Amino acid sequence: MTTTYDHVIVGGGMTADAAAKAIHESTPDATILIVSADVDAPYTRPALSKKLWTDPDYTPADNDLSTESESGAELRLDTRVSSIDRAAKTVTIEGGDTVGYGTLLIATGGQPSTLDLPDDDRVVYFRTADDYRRLRALSGGGRHVAVIGGSYIGTEIAAALVQNDTRVTLVFPDDVLGASVFPSVIADRFEKAFEEARVELARGRRVESGAADDAGVHLRLDDGSTLDADAVVVGLGIAVDDSLAADAGLTVDDGIVVDDRLRTSDPSVFAAGDVASYPDAILGRRRVEHVDNAKSQGPVVGRNMTGADEVYDHTPYYYSKVFDISYEAVGTLDASLEKVVDDKDDDKAVVYYLGEDGSVAGVLLWNVEEARDAARTTLAAGVVPRDELVGRI
Q: Give the residues across from 273 on adjacent strands.
A: none
From residue 113, how far is each of 90, 367, 382 by CA, in Å? 30, 30, 34
From residue 164, how far is each of 139, 145, 157, 250, 346 by CA, in Å? 8, 11, 11, 45, 27
How many of the chain's residues bind ligand FAD (CB under 6 A)? 36
> Is residue 155 a contact point for ligand FAD (CB under 6 A)?
no
Minimal distance, residue 98 CB to ligand FAD, in Å: 14
CB under 6 A: which stretch of 31-39, 168-176, 299-307, 348-356 binds ligand FAD? 31-39
Pick between residue 220 and residue 321 the one whose CB is nearest to ligand FAD.
Answer: 321
| Binder among 33, 52, 107, 245 for ligand FAD (CB under 6 A) | 107
Q: In this structure, are residues 115 and 123 in contact, taking their beta carbons and an 8 Å threshold?
A: no
Minimal distance, residue 97 CB to ligand FAD, in Å: 12
Minimal distance, residue 108 CB to ligand FAD, in Å: 4
> Is residue 68 a contact point for ligand FAD (CB under 6 A)?
no
> Is residue 41 a contact point for ligand FAD (CB under 6 A)?
no
Q: In this structure, are residues 378 and 393 in contact, taking their beta carbons and an 8 Å threshold?
A: yes
List, in order, residues 6 or more apart from 337 with CB less than 8 Å away. Answer: 353, 354, 355, 361, 362
Q: Which of 329, 334, 321 is nearest to 292 (CA)?
A: 329
> Is residue 205 a contact point for ligand FAD (CB under 6 A)?
no
Pick between residue 304 and residue 354 the one whose CB is nearest to ligand FAD.
Answer: 304
Question: Residue 53's Cα: distance from chain center in Å?
Answer: 18
> Is residue 280 a contact point for ligand FAD (CB under 6 A)?
no
DSSP string of 110-142, one letter each residue: EEE---S----TTEEE--SHHHHHHHHHHS-TT
Q: Give the residues across from 320 on adjacent strands.
A: 327
Size (the chain), residues: 393
Pick between residue 244 and residue 340 the one whose CB is nearest to ligand FAD.
Answer: 244
| Binder among 5, 8, 9, 16 for ligand FAD (CB under 6 A) | 16
**Beta-carbon-side half-sphere exposure of residue 194 (alpha carbons within 13 Å):** 30
Q: Which of 168, 200, 193 is nearest to 178 (CA)?
A: 193
- Reduced to 3 states, what is the DSSP secondary structure of residue 375? helix
| Binder among 174, 191, 230, 241 for ligand FAD (CB under 6 A) | 241
> Is residue 58 a contact point for ligand FAD (CB under 6 A)?
no
| Binder among 80, 133, 286, 314 for ligand FAD (CB under 6 A) | 80
From residue 225, how far is each of 55, 91, 215, 221, 319 by CA, in Å? 36, 49, 18, 5, 34
> Is residue 302 a contact point for ligand FAD (CB under 6 A)?
no
Give the per-residue contact string, 255-274, with ligand FAD (x = CB under 6 A; - = no).
------------------xx
State how far the Cα of 182 lies from the Cα of 366, in Å rounded to an integer.
Answer: 10
State how far the Cα of 128 lies from the Cα of 151, in Å rounded to an integer.
Answer: 17
The residue number with the shortest CB distance to ligand FAD is 109
Give the per-residue contact string, 306-345, with ligand FAD (x = CB under 6 A; - = no).
------------xxx-------------------------
> Is residue 294 a contact point for ligand FAD (CB under 6 A)?
yes
State how far the Cα of 11 lies from the Cα of 106, in Å rounded to an integer.
Answer: 7
| Binder among 14, 159, 217, 361 for ligand FAD (CB under 6 A) | 14
* Subset of 122-151 contacting ligand FAD (CB under 6 A): 126-127
Residues at the site binding ligand FAD, with contacts judged by CB under 6 A: 10-16, 35-38, 45-46, 48-49, 80-81, 107-110, 126-127, 153, 241, 244, 273-274, 289-292, 294, 318-320
